[in-house]
Amino acid sequence: MPDGTAPWWTSAVVYQIYPRSFQDSDGDGVGDLGGILQRLDHLTDLGVDVLWLSPVYPSPQADNGYDISDYQDIDPLFGSLAQLDELIEALHARGMKLVMDLVVNHTSDAHPWFLESRSSADSPKRDWYWWRPPRGGMAAGDPGAEPTNWQSFFSGPTWELDEASGEYYLHLFDRRQPDLNWENPQVRQAIYEMMRWWLDRGVDGFRMDVINMISKDVAEDGHLHDGPPLPGSSLGSGYASFICGPRIHEFLQEMHREVFAGRPEALLTVGEMPGVTVEQARLFTDPARGEVDMVFQFEHVGLDHGTSKWDLNPLRMRDLKASFGRWQAGLAEVGWNSLYWDNHDQPRAVSRFGDDSPRYRRDSATCLATLLHLHRGTPYVYQGQELGMANYPFASLDDFRDVESLNHHVQAVSAGQDPAAVLDAMRTMSRDNARTPVQWDASPHAGFTSGEPWLAVNPDHVEWNAEAQREDPTSVLAHYRRLIALRHQLPVVALGDFTMLLPEHDDVYAFTRSLDGETLLVVCNVSRRAHDLTSLLPQAAGAELVLGNLADGDPGELRPWEARVLRL
């Protein structure tokens, strides 16, 4: 990708808003579009280029909006279509773009399509979803009578029995999120039409929820296949049947032709793809194939998982380097990476990969940010990450709201696991860690709402908040501002070649970026131990400091959680 022909998003930074936790404007304790409109200065001040908005569509909110009952409206909980139009206009006036969440692997069970599909086995929309009779010879509702043995992402089987018809419907996520049948061309056309409607309205692209799961491996006679059994469970993994299924590239190419091709606007498409490999990602993001611009891969956020996400191990630095290194190399010539630590599904990175003790919280938050933002790819900042927001000190089950956590608790405890241990794992890994309200100031509800917040504000907001950081040049916020500006200023940050250094070192993450004779050396000490930089990387001696996260010190020493970007 020679300089000058690179797409606009190679030098862009995206900011993700999870609307229910960003800013409330009407006192009901839930964030909304009015709140976002009030806080646009925060985005301008950070310098981000794109806003990715998690779902604001009408929804029963079983999965906080990832269960959509109408693709072409706004839930009154969040505001109105008129406010969405206002947001598009306000962002464009500030030189920013708006990317909407597109959730089309499944709908809500309250979507009119599903209501119609469910109404009878002869409904013209029956085939819009995955309906199957019980497993051969078994009666509906018998244990194990589900059509396949797949385990849902949100615990239990992926099949829900509909008593009225005696058939099961497929839901890879919660039972209130039935999977759409993309084999049916009418389904695909209805979705493309909806997407064009949003683009015509002025939105600038889509973040596509679990888009690599839309193609299921189905035999010609309609049979779906069991997967390998999961350890200690009566269920199996259906991954081989729905992660990057047989028609996935065909569907995405069709979507590209029908929705995006020939549009003059500068758009952005990013596919969320759990389980995607780097080889597949190269195909998905090869511009010549016309699929998506970039994908969210999950390898690095799975490195600390044991048998499941609830079984957590410490992250080993050499594993992270091997993983990121492979993705950087794999998409160096063709394709593009997206870069993230945090999002609304992950615990807070400063608590998980950094060190959120009072001494090192700021330093580790800025160190992790530097490490990520200096890679080649498009960085994503999740709301509050730019403030160093950390995990929440959950005390009891009542503190949790997330459907994944609550389902897991029911299943794990009923399977005989120790409730205290289950709660412990939820405390570290629950998605609710990412979903506590943004900490704007030190007031009782952190400036998020005048009412009762839907999920408690982290008590640490009295110290960790935007107001306290805005004017402080040493704050996490100020550091994010500098990182974002650096990507805009230096083509080498956006486009330079990536070379990993010290692949075996446990504490120091180091790499170079090079473009047109300019080379940056990035060194990050991801530990509490100081290291002798000059003996580790002699080329650092005398190099010019472009950006660092700690006050000036001995150039030969890398202090705990210190990050430096040097020009060689």
Nearer to ligand ISL (CB atom), residue 243 or residue 540: 243
Nearest to 362 by CA among 565, 562, 566: 562
Binding of ligand ISL at residue 128 (CB under 6 A)? no
- The first and second tokens of residue 328, run together, are 């950087």
Judged by beta carbon, residue 63 or residue 146, the one nearer ligand ISL is 63
Catalytic residue among 209, 386, 399, 402: 209
Question: What is the rounded distance in angstroms from the CA atom of residue 274 to the CA atom of residue 272?
Answer: 7
Q: How far is the CB of 378 from ligand ISL (least distance, A)?
A: 17
Q: What does the DSSP 8-state code read for residue 564?
A: E
Other CB atoms within a 10 A radius of the CB of residue 21 amount to: 27
For residue 477, the surrounding DSSP H or E stretch is helix 476-489
Q: Which residue is listed with tokens 């009119």?
A: 112
**In the complex, what is the shortest distance from the CB of residue 50 to ligand ISL, in angstroms, rounded to a whole number?**
17
Contact 429, 348 (CB under 8 A): no
The residue within the footprint of ligand ISL, chosen from 24, 32, 63, 109 (CB under 6 A), is 63
Q: Closest approach of Cβ 174 to ligand ISL, in Å? A: 8
Q: Site for ligand ISL (CB under 6 A): which residue of 74, 103, 438, 483?
A: 103
| Residue whose CB is less far from ligand ISL, 431 or 445 | 431
* Nearest-angstrom CA–CA distance, 430 and 404: 8
Residues 266-325 that bind ligand ISL (CB under 6 A): 272, 274, 309
Question: Which residues between 395 and 414 bind ligand ISL (CB under 6 A)?
Answer: 404
- Rounded distance, CA 431 to CA 425, Å? 11
Q: How far is the CB of 401 from ligand ISL (least distance, A)?
A: 13
Q: Per rule CB under 6 A, is residue 210 in the interface with ligand ISL?
A: yes
CB of 309 vs ligand ISL, minimal distance in Å: 5
Nearest CB to ligand ISL, comparing residues 169 and 173: 173
Q: Residue 309 CA to chain centroid, in angstroms?
A: 15
Cβ proximity to ligand ISL: between 24 and 63 the closer is 63
Backbone angles phi, psi at 11, to 5 degrees: -115, 20
Given a contact cutoff of 8 angstroms between Cβ atoms, the answer to whether 159 and 168 are in contact is yes
Among residues 109, 146, 204, 272, which one is catalytic? 272
How does 29-48 read in b/e, with b if 16+ C-beta sit within 10 Å? bbbbbbbbbebbebbeebbb
Cα 505 from chain centroid (whole Å): 28
Sign, Cα dihedral of 427, 429, 435, 439:
positive
The verdict on 494 binding ligand ISL (CB under 6 A) reads no
| Nearest distance, CB of residue 343 and ligand ISL, angstroms | 7
CB of 180 to ligand ISL, least distance (A): 12
**Distance (Å, rounded) from C-alpha 351 to C-alpha 390?**
6
Q: Kindly state the tokens that stand for 58.
A: 């009408």
Among 146, 209, 356, 432, binds ligand ISL (CB under 6 A): 209
CB of 4 to ligand ISL, least distance (A): 35
Q: Report how many helices (DSSP H) and strands (DSSP E) the chain contains, helices first.
A: 18, 18
Are the C-beta atoms of residues 44 and 89 closer than 8 Å to each other? no
Helical packing angle, 248-255 and 278-285, nearest 10°:
30
Determine, following the binding rule CB under 6 A, whether residue 345 of this chain makes contact with ligand ISL.
yes
**Is 272 known to be catalytic?**
yes
Encode 316-337: b = buried (16+ Cβ within 10 Å), e = exposed. Answer: ebeebbbbbbebbebbeeebbb
| Tokens standing for residue 432 | 């609710």
Instruction: Report in angstroms how near the CB of residue 21 gets to ligand ISL at its nearest.
Output: 13
The mark string for 500-539 relative to ligand ISL (x by CB under 6 A, - otherwise) is: ----------------------------------------
As measured in angstroms, the least distance from the Cβ of 89 to ligand ISL is 27
Q: Which tokens in the block code for residue 110?
A: 């309250």
Distance of CA 491 to the CA centre of its chain: 26
Kindly tell me which of 129 and 464 has the beta carbon lying closer to ligand ISL.
129
Choose between 272 and 386: whose C-beta lies nearer to ligand ISL. Answer: 272
CA distance 160 to 518: 58
Cβ neighbours of residue 154 under 8 Å, at least 6 residues apart? 173, 174, 403, 404, 407, 408
Site string for ligand ISL, 373-392 (x = CB under 6 A): --------------------
**Options 431, 481, 482, 531; binder of ligand ISL; rule CB under 6 A:** 431
**Closer CB to ligand ISL, 431 or 479, in the complex:** 431
Residue 173 binds ligand ISL (CB under 6 A): yes
Strands 518-525 and 563-567: antiparallel
463 included as an active-site residue: no
If binding means CB under 6 A, how many residues of this protein chain bind ligand ISL? 14
Select 62 or 374, whichever has its Cβ closest to ligand ISL: 62
Q: Which is nearer to ligand ISL, 278 or 466 (CB)?
A: 278
Pairing relation of β-strands 544-548 and 563-567?
Answer: antiparallel
Enzyme catalytic residues: 209, 272
Which spans of this chain sit near ligand ISL (rule: CB under 6 A)?
63, 66, 103, 153, 173, 209-210, 272, 274, 309, 344-345, 404, 431
